[in-house]
Chains A and B, each alone.
Chain A
Amino acid sequence: MTQDLVSQKVKSVSGRLSVPSGEPALAVVLFAILALIPVVAGGYIVYVLPQYMIFGVLALSLGLLWGYVGILSFGQAAFFAVGAYVTGIVMGADFGINPVYLAVLAATGAGCLVAAIAGYFLFSAGVRATYFVLVTLALSIMAEQIAVSQSQITGGWNGMYVNRPELPFGPIGSLSLGGDYVMYYVVLPLVALAYFIVRWLMAARFGKVLVGVRENEDRMIALGFGVPFYKTAAFALSGAVAGFAGALYALHSSFVSPSLGGVLFSTEVVVWVAIGGRLSLLGALVGGIIVASLSNYLSAVAPDTWQLMLGVLFIIVIVFFKRGLAGAVSDGVRLLTAQRGQTNE
């Protein structure tokens, strides 16, 4: 009897290398719910929810970095802004063809490239922890400053308008993104795609090496892993995902402004992921969607105090739920199943 209990206990313990196996199923449920929302709700919600899903992707870009590699970045808004501005610039250029796909690709590539260059120099120089965070903070400041100062390209403080385009489908025809319902059902699968691609990469060899780096960097080096390369690749991937989110944002909101790249917005991303749960990709994604929605709601009902309320929520999570919503949920599920197991015996 005692033996059984002991062996059961050992079985139920698993480390943090593998992404929780139930997570993709939970993600499917989430995306299904999101797919049904326009059926029951309408108007403003259908217009605004894609924006929060896009913020969820931005949170995902930080989640993969902070959760898997243990690298905190205050530069996600910079990559997001790079993606958004590149989209605006490409959409505004006169190519003679519909540039929407090119714009999204270029935005993703630009986010990736900026992160890769910054990451390459920092990680090969062995910049770690706090010093790295400080540099990412500077990236956000630079992004905002460049957006303001290069006004002949970016429009400066006036921002940049991006028309909602048509999505061409070759000989089949094309789909106008002008309507909110169409936009909703274009953004949702792209958000799901971003999640599942990142999830797949993190469950593969790449993600396992990153977890090793997070858990014990010196051990990984001594085992012969090229740690700076993997960190740079993770940062570049994070930049690409953030750039992709920036592109979707530009197309959805039709407007890009310098504050998208600022420190303030970058800090918001960190708060989303901390509240959602940085060790879970789904937690980060959901954190982005929920906390961004909540911010919007609070700012409407309590315009003077909403940031204070969000700050209090952040502190509560940091103090009591270090692993965020996702951690609290998985602990709750474990507790429930453990209790059920006991009553069954």
Chain B
Amino acid sequence: MNKILKKTLVLLPVALLAGCNFKYTYNISGLVISGGEQEDLDDIEDAGTYDIKVWVDDRIVELTKSQIGQFVAANGGKYTINATIEPVGEEKAASSMLQDVQDGADLFCFAQDQLSRLKVAGALSRLGSGYVNAMQEEMVEGAVDAAKINNEVYAFPITADNGYFLYYDKNFISDEDAKDVSSIIAACTKDPSKPRTFNFEARSSGFYAASYFMATGCYSNWELDDESGKFKSYDDNYDSGNGLIAAKGLKELDKKGVVVSDSHASKLGESAAAVISGIWEYEVNAVKKLDEAGMLGCAALPSFTVDGNSYHLSSFDGYKLLGVKPQVDPKKASVCRKIARFLTSEDCQYERFDKAKWGPANKAASQKEDVQNHKGLKALNEQHQYAKPQGQCPGSWFTALATTAKAVTANSTDAQIQEILANYRAGLPELLDSD
């Protein structure tokens, strides 16, 4: 026993050291791209050598690397850029930036709901009218608004695909069924030998539950105090006649075991017949397999019916943004903004769609034929007319809405629903304080 142990202890590190020749796959510090002749187009003289750190999702690390190379090439060798590109996804980028703005990335990708936090923490700066005007021109409608706080723009829209839509399995759900929540649920239970689920996270997530309320015309607008980054007031009508209709519609999702409150498109083709999720699940292999079999359906969200009236589910228009950290060196600040503008340009956004299936926020790129024909993006596009912009709101507002949705779907009567909505409203002032 002892001998074996000794051998293992000695051999283990040796084997490990020998077996692995390590590549810093993503960390390409030392990538130096330069050459060509100089072009003088800019108002500030910013030619030079820069170390730039970029945080993007690991799916587009390699792509971003080559795009920064394109940027250097396009500028005819004016810049030498040592780019370090690290795979920090949108959900982690914001908290890592907050943890250490100074050592954080110079350019980073994040979801729009983090905008106000990042702005208050000094991780973003206001963009001048030159950039804003150009973006208004080039980006799809609503994209620039997503980067706005109190009418000032703070970041560059990089995708317009952060919303959600309906994936469905055509073996179980016909295109006609997919138009209505009740018929989807009915289709799931049609064949008792093959029970399927409808995965819709509205029961436990405010992000999805809002679909019902916004569909009936409810709104919840929160006003941010520019200085403190805290919310100072709100205008909310979820506790209203329209809210009651929405809540009644939501009640339909209480069929536990049939309606599952998650958003895993990976269950499609196995236990789920329909899933409401985003484009980020499109490349999951379960979805791909279904697509190859010709049985994948993608559509705008379905409608729901209350008291004979039908309402098309709404959703949030989701955008991902590219942020530029304020720099001590004005030259570097200028270069970083130029890179950000380049990375969000038509060609780069289209390339990102081509290689990683990210939906462009750039108007021209989104008009291209293959973008228009992509099943998932097409569904998002159809949903777009029903979608509402996701303004800045406290993170705990989603919790409040989830609490409400969960209570509504727990066998509530109409009277109880009214009470639940009243509780929701009564709790709103606390959100101002707590976020």
The answer to whether A and B belong to the same complex is no
Q: Which residues of B contact A (CB under 8 A)?
A: none
Q: Which residues of A contact B (CB under 8 A)?
A: none
